[in-house]
């Protein structure tokens, strides 16, 4: 009696076929060009078939968004090579900003777009994101304990620094930085983060 098992495997295979196809479309052509109908085309099934495996489009987006958090978390682990609390905090920001600028489409999905967020309530209330967040928060707490950051709620401090990093890349990704040198956006982004989390006042000052 291996038939129900095989059927389940088939179902799972189809789900992941849809997902990897969505992923490919997503990476190659960006968020805007992803559509149920195009995914269906690529896998040579009817659009209606996709709805047998996913409730709606947002459910697919949510899966992609989870994929993105895997990559981000992997990168975050890079901070472990650093001991100094302040340097570690800086590294966190750099990793975050680089991730966003390296994978703008993923970042968009993970932190800007409305779609996947709708699933937070239904699903696990942002479990994937939570892991990244708490990892960061730990190091923020450490920085506070070390006197590198002002005392106060670690929650607020974490949210504050995260907002800083998010704000930087979100404004860049959405083209709100026409007043900045477009050639040096990457450097500027990092400098903006360093301006807040810095060794002392001269480190990032322009050479004169």
- Binding interface with DNA (CB under 7 A): 1, 3, 6-7, 10-11, 14, 34-38, 44-49, 51-52, 56-58
From the list its own copies, DNA, none, pick the one residue 199 interacts with, judged by a Cβ distance below 5 to 8 Å according to partner type. its own copies
- Structure token digits, residue 182: 């477009």
| CB atoms closer than 10 angstroms to residue 31 | 17
**Nearest-5° Cα angle at 176, 173 to 180:** 100
User: For the chain, how many residues are written?
Assistant: 208
What is the sign, positive or negative, of the torsion defined by CA atoms of 130, 113, 30, 175? Answer: negative
Using the structure block, give the residue that is written with the tokens 């960061």.
Answer: 136
**Least CB distance to its own copies at residue 84 (A):** 13
Q: Is residue 123 involved in binding its own copies (CB under 8 A)?
A: no
Q: How far is the CB of 18 from its own copies (least distance, A)?
A: 25
Residue 101 interface partner, choices DNA, its own copies, none, CB cut-off 5-8 Å depending on type:
none
Please tell me the distance from the alpha carbon of residue 180 to that of residue 192, in angstroms, as a whole number.
12
Contacts of 130 (CB under 8 A, 6+ apart): none
Is the separation of the CB atoms in 64 and 22 below 8 Å? yes
- Considering only the stretches 13-21, 77-85, 98-106, 190-198, report the one whose residues sit in contact with its own copies under the rule CB under 8 A: 190-198
Q: Does 153 bind its own copies (CB under 8 A)?
A: yes
CA distance 34 to 21: 10
55 scored as a contact of its own copies (CB under 8 A): no
Candidate residues 126, 131, 135, 141; the one interacting with its own copies per rule CB under 8 A: 126
Q: By CB under 8 A, tell whether 151 contacts its own copies.
A: yes
Element (H, E) at 142: helix 127-145
Interface residue with its own copies among 16, 176, 182, 186 (CB under 8 A) is 176
Distance CA(113)–CA(8), nearest Å, equals: 32
> Restricting to residues 87-116, which ones interact with its own copies according to CB under 8 A?
111-114
Q: Select the residue interacting with its own copies from 50, 109, 128, 157 (CB under 8 A).
A: 157
Which parts of this chain interact with its own copies (CB under 8 A)?
111-114, 117-118, 120, 125-126, 129-130, 133, 147-153, 155-157, 159-160, 162-168, 170-171, 174-180, 188, 191-193, 195-196, 198-207
């Amino acid at each position: 009696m291996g038939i129900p098992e095989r059927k389940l495997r088939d179902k799972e295979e189809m789900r992941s076929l849809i997902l990897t196809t969505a992923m490919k479309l997503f990476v190659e052509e960006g968020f805007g060009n992803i559509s149920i109908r195009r995914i269906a085309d690529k896998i040579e099934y009817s659009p209606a078939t996709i709805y047998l495996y996913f409730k709606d489009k947002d459910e697919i987006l949510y899966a992609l968004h989870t994929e993105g958090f895997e990559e981000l978390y992997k990168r975050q682990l890079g901070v472990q090579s650093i001991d100094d609390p302040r340097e570690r905090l800086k590294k966190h920001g750099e990793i975050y900003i680089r991730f966003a600028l390296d994978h703008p489409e993923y970042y968009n999905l993970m932190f800007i777009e409305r779609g996947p967020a709708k699933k937070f309530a239904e699903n696990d209330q942002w479990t994937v994101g939570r892991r990244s967040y708490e990892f960061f928060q730990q190091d923020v707490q450490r920085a506070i304990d070390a006197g590198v950051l002002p005392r106060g709620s670690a929650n607020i401090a974490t949210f504050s620094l995260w907002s800083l990093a998010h704000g930087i890349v979100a404004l860049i990704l959405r083209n709100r930085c026409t007043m900045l040198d477009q050639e040096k956006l990457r450097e500027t982004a990092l400098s903006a983060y360093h301006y807040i989390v810095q060794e002392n006042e001269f480190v990032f000052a322009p050479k004169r």
